[in-house]
Chains A and B, each alone.
Chain A
Amino acid sequence: MQPILSVHNLNKYYGNQVGCKNMNLTLYPGEVVGVVGESGSGKTTFINSISGNLIPDSGKILIETGNETIDFLEISESLKRLLIRTELAFVHQNPRDGLRLDVSAGGNISERLMSIGQRNYGNIRQTIFKWLDKVEIDKSRADDFPRTFSGGMLQRLQIAKNLVTSPKIIFMDEPTGGLDVSVQAKILDLLRKLVRELNLSVVIVSHDLAVIRLLADKIIVMKNGEAVESGLCDQVLDDPQHSYTQLLVSSVLQV
């Protein structure tokens, strides 16, 4: 099996300031890779740099589409935009960053469908209903504006909006941040289900180790812009080798 995404020696600086340095990642189809670390460790810079939101200073990003390998940093801007609208998806921590608030919920979901060329109103409408149902939002809300939705609903809508075109790779930056725990449980359960059902390949950033343990197969632990440890998720959390990972794991409160 070939990795669907591989990142080699990626660097991103803000002036003299390190954003992330010497980062590597291998993501296989159906796999979830978690990126953890404290605030300011470079998690978000890293995920933004590999998803097209930021332009890294150096490194290589290879995406396997099935028939060809795309060198993500070398392709034209228009092809990159197309990929971002179709094969890649990005779920933001704040759903308001990933949704159009002055477009109906259904309109938000249909945007990506239209960008891959779907034009039949009836079909699009059906797909919208199917996805609202998947993320447990009542069909009757399809024509409402997202601004009338609760935080948890907005996040589920953002997930539906991103997954509707079955993207190959999904990036998530703290998808459950800022949600209360019962809503968080609902979203985590939803994500777990979708990962299995649709065989999704995901890179997820979170500072919450419990979230990562639940979702991820592999893990990267970041500190000061660098990966200090990486490997099998449960192994790194249960038998951490680096002093920083040991500190991180032992700092979690037991409920």
Chain B
Amino acid sequence: MIELNKITKKFTLHNQGKTNILVFNNLNLKINPGEIVALTGPSGVGKSSILKMIYGNYVFQSGQIKINNHNIDHTYPRNIIELRKNIIGYVSQFLRVIPRVPTIEIVMEPLLEINSDQDEVREKAEKILLKLNIDKNLWNLSPLTFSGGEQQRVNVARGLIRNYPCLLLDEPTASLDSVNKDIVLNLINEKKDSGSSIIGIFHDEYSRKYLNAREIDITKISDAK
């Protein structure tokens, strides 16, 4: 379960004339287990910012964010590190490629945090890469030179290899063809059926309908915009 209560978020740009940008005021949101929430609203309204606040990547000025009853509290970074290790999964919009690290290892990484059996983890990584149509010849290469769609599927494989109780998805299907899009959407549905609380941004109507997502227009749940 993910809960946001009375969240205020602003950016203060100290070096640009101390500009204050109020992004959210009194933002409330709740995502139940087994539910998918799709955030909607025009670009720049703060869809990604909500995901980033839940992940602990952005701070917020007041209010409360609870993940399975654990508070996101930046005074204890260790707790957020633990939450990320055990509870929250995040598929970002773009893959952060690390030089020299092969695709298969990038995908294995999150699972190795909780399972030290290299062979078992490798097998699972291979399974999900196959499912996502990543050619076997690419597994031992760094995704640095892959196409946008391939990189995104590697990123999805990495994010979905585990069953996180809470899952954050930032346009996971944006640069995929229709066949691969359906494969990814099916994987997301599997996570939902296994009881994950899922919140995401999906740019197309098709994906939101396919996932049977509860759509939330951000402009309607925050006083700021």
Contact = CB atoms under 8 A, between A and B. Distances in A.
B100 to A, nearest CB: 4
Nearest to A243: B14
A247 interface: yes
B112 interface: yes
Interface of B: 11-15, 52, 56-59, 74, 77-78, 80-81, 98-101, 112
Contact of A189 (B11, B57, B74, B100): B100
B81 A217 contact: yes
A185 B100 contact: yes
Interface residues of A, number: 25
A242 B59 CA distance: 13
A231 B79 CA distance: 11
B81 A214 contact: no
A114 interface: no
A54 interface: no
Given A232-B56, A246-B14, A214 B98 contact: yes
Interface stretch (A80-88, A91-99, A159-167, A233-241): A233-241
B77 A192 contact: no
A145 interface: no
A250 B81 contact: no
Contact of A238 (B12, B58, B77, B100): B58
A217 B14 contact: no
Given A185-B100, A186-B100, A235 B74 contact: yes
B58 A31 contact: no
Contact of B81 (A31, A188, A196, A239): A31
A210 to B, nearest CB: 11
B57 A238 contact: yes
Contacts of B74: 231-232, 235
